[in-house]
Amino acid sequence: MIPATLSSVERLAAELEEHGLADFQLAFVLGSGLGAFTERVADAHEVSFEELADMPVSRVPGHAGRFVVGEVAGTRVIVQEGRVHLYEGWSAHEVTRSVRAFARLGCRALVLTNAAGGLVPDWPVPSLMRVVDHLNLQGRTPLLRTEVGRGSPYDGELGAALEGAAEEAGVRLFKGVYAGLLGPTYETPAEVGLLAKIGADAVGMSTVAEALAGQASGMRVAAISCISNHAAGVTAAPLCHDEVVRAGAVIAADFCEVLERAVPRLTAAIG
């Protein structure tokens, strides 16, 4: 029995270990419509969020809500398919609980993925973007008073590993800055115009808190956005969540190929 005196992160880490979800070097968090990567995991063992008392559960379509552990390209990994969001009412600490639990279990590198709106008109939809930095516009941070942010949480060497994997796979991987907003509403054209002026290339409602918590917990962090639609005002097309999920399905093969080919490179980077 897990002692009630443990913190929520410690309890979740203990639950993951009890359910056979341990001994992994890399962790992946999959965003809306990007769950196809779990099919690349060999000897997979899966556990739903609902089986874990201390894991928050999302009700957003496209977030299956399960952990899958197994091997990809000879490396043991854990894949979190789905996440919870601040706009669902969860706190920043609840949103990042699983990331911190990964670190407590000895995970050394974290790859975050998300679906995002694109602010660059010339980028095709869907396409992939490596996150090189972010704008935290969510009005809150997951960091504790004892934790100090150390600049951009996105590791350059891990980012280069993703770029090398994309080149090997023949997939174009753009680079840019991700703006994280609170949501749940899509941005107005005026807001998108402002985001572009302050340096954003893509916008979404996740990732920034997980990246900050991952770095603060001692992991090296990388991130990829699936540019699933043009943000409001970039084109005249209306926005909807179904479009986001469909875009993930369209680009799934490229997305999965890049991640799978990246695993040996990521493993080499973390030694």
Task: Quote the pLDDT of residue 60.
Answer: 72
Task: Quote the pLDDT of residue 64.
Answer: 77
Task: Quote the pLDDT of residue 145.
Answer: 84
Query: Whole-prediction pTM value?
Result: 0.93
Cα distances (Å, whole numbers) of residue 233 to 114, 116, 127, 195:
21, 15, 18, 12
pLDDT digits (tens, 9 = 90+) for 91-123: 999 999 999 999 999 999 999 999 999 999 999
Task: Quote the pLDDT of residue 168.
Answer: 97
How many angstroms separate the CA atoms of 73 and 185, rounded?
38
In order of their start, the domains of the chain are 8-270 (3.40.50.1580)
How many angstroms separate the CA atoms of 48 and 105, rounded?
18
Q: Which amino acid would we find at residue 1?
A: M
Task: Quote the pLDDT of residue 58.
Answer: 84
Q: Which residues are catalytic?
A: 32, 63, 85, 87-88, 115, 205-206, 229, 241
Say if strands 26-30 and 75-81 run parallel, antiparallel, or are unpaired: parallel
pLDDT digits (tens, 9 = 90+) for 163-187: 999 999 999 999 999 999 998 888 8
Contact 62, 244 (CB under 8 A): yes
Share the mean pLDDT of the chain.
91
pLDDT digits (tens, 9 = 90+) for 238-271: 555 566 566 667 788 999 999 999 999 999 999 8
Q: Is the pLDDT of residue 190 over 90?
A: yes
pLDDT digits (tens, 9 = 90+) for 210-234: 999 999 999 999 999 999 888 754 5
Q: What is the CA radius of gyration of the chain?
A: 17
Task: Give the SS3 label for residue 135.
Answer: strand
Task: Quote the pLDDT of residue 33.
Answer: 79
Least reliable range by pLDDT among 26-35, 198-207, 216-225: 26-35
Longest Cα separation, the chain: 56
Say if strands 109-118 and 220-230 run parallel, antiparallel, or are unpaired: parallel
Both tokens of 247, joined, read 């875009």
Least reliable range by pLDDT among 18-22, 36-40, 250-254: 250-254
Task: Quote the pLDDT of residue 146.
Answer: 85
Task: Quote the pLDDT of residue 166.
Answer: 98
- Asked whether the CA dihedral 159, 37, 263, 212 is positive or negative, the reply is positive
Cα of 75 vs its chain's centroid, Å: 19
